Amino acid sequence: MLDPNVYFCQSMEGTKRNNIQQGSVVKIVLKKDQRTGQLTEGVVEKILTNSPNHHHGIKVMLEDGQVGRVKEIIE
């Protein structure tokens, strides 16, 4: 049985646009890394997905110009 007092990162999943703001620190998967699932960490400069949800993750541009879909939001 799961402990209800344990915080799960699922509440901050990258599939919901409302969870992500400019300046958020996130881990994204780049297009070239989709096969391996390697994550790249960075700070969100721009949110590129307009819809409120996306099942593969919200697409963002990081401050260094890299573009990918959010897999994790780091607080």
Q: How many domains are there within the chain?
A: 1
Residue 15 lies in a domain: yes
Q: What angle do CA 30, 33, 34 make, to 5 degrees?
A: 90
Q: How far is CA 7 from the centre of its chain?
A: 18
Which residues contact residue 67 at a Cβ distance below 8 angstroms, ignoring those fewer than 6 apart?
Answer: 30, 31, 48, 59, 60, 61
On whether residue 3 sits in a domain, the answer given is no
Per 3-state DSSP, the chain is made up of helix, strand and coil in percentages (nearest 5) of 15, 40, 50
Tokens of 40: 């790249």
pLDDT tens digits, 36-57: 999 999 999 999 999 999 999 9
- Would the pLDDT of 30 be above 90? yes
The pTM score is: 0.82
Domain residue limits at 20: 9-74
Q: What confidence tens digit (pLDDT) does each residue in 14-28 have?
A: 999 999 999 999 999
